[in-house]
Structure 1
Amino acid sequence: MSLESMDPADWSGDDDVLGPLGRDGLTYLVWGADWCGDCREQLPGFAAALDAAGVPADRIEQFPVDDDKRGEGVDEYGVEFIPTVVVERDGEEIARFVEAEPDGIAAYLAERIAAAVASANADD
């Protein structure tokens, strides 16, 4: 099942966030609901950023939740608020967005992805 709110809008953000979002090996897990105002406001722009970054659909997993915020993966990932986006690399969480941030989902995650990649490269 998919979220209508994950239908991409036009990308109007900073293009410097697209590089980190489009890195190979990342998987995006998105919890939300089409009845949720925050999701309807934020997810189309995030979906547009993923699209502009060239992230293939098979690396974006959508998890709709019901009115009680129950659904697949909610307990496993500790999802309490929506939208929640978890970014994984090789099955390990490297970044998480929960509900709202001033810079929006794409910019918030891009910053954290870049930091996680830099940290991993420093450990090598």
Structure 2
Amino acid sequence: MSLETMRPNPTWDAASYEDAVDVLEAHNDELVYKVWGGDWCKDCRALLPDFGAALEAAEVPEERIEEYALDEDKQGPGVEAYDIEYIPTIVVERATAGADGDESEEVVRFVEQENLPPAIWLAQRLEEEL
């Protein structure tokens, strides 16, 4: 199920966030963005449209963006496996050389209470980690 709140904000100005977009674009073929949220959630409605616009500006392929819609009890796919407590939560993973070739490792995680917008916060952490 997709999140309406991930629909890119049409007024978001990629040029104002060029550094963040450049970092996301530099890794758009190796990372997967897993996004937990709810269209009913105020924080998700405030943060995710701009993040969706940043991913679009960075030309991150749709198959590298996984959206998980949670209900008002914050229940839904992957909540227990990824220990999701707050939304929005964005987990960025990269593939690892597992036995079945389908394993991944968490690189960074954005949780709603961070003090910067998701695209900026994640880009800064990705620069540090990669």
TM exceeds 0.5? Answer: yes
- The whole-number CA distance in structure 2 between the counterparts of 1:34 and 1:19 is 28
- Name stretches of at least 5 consecutive residues in structure 2 with no aligned partner: 96-103
Q: Deviations over 1:88-107 (max 9, x none)?
A: 01111000000132221000
Letter of the structure 2 residue corresponding to residue 53 of structure 1:
A
Say whether residues 1:103 and 2:91 are aligned partners: no
Say whether residues 1:92 and 2:108 are aligned partners: no
1:1-124 aligned at under 5 Å gives the runs 1-9=1-9, 10-12=11-13, 13-22=16-25, 23=27, 24-90=29-95, 91-117=104-130
- The whole-number CA distance in structure 1 between the counterparts of 2:31 and 2:23 is 10
Contact preservation (8 Å) 1:63, 1:72 = yes
Letter of the structure 1 residue corresponding to residue 123 of structure 2:
A
Q: Percent identity?
A: 51
Q: Deviations over 1:5-53 (max 9, x none)?
A: 0000133341100122121200000000000000001000000000000
- The whole-number CA distance in structure 2 between the counterparts of 1:15 and 1:100 is 23
Please, what is the CA RMSD of the aligned residues?
A: 0.9
- The whole-number CA distance in structure 1 between the counterparts of 2:33 and 2:87 is 14
SS in 1 for 2:119: helix
SS in 2 for 1:14: helix
- The whole-number CA distance in structure 2 between the counterparts of 1:106 and 1:29 is 13
Letter of the structure 2 residue corresponding to residue 8 of structure 1:
P
- Name stretches of at least 5 consecutive residues in structure 1 with no aligned partner: 118-124
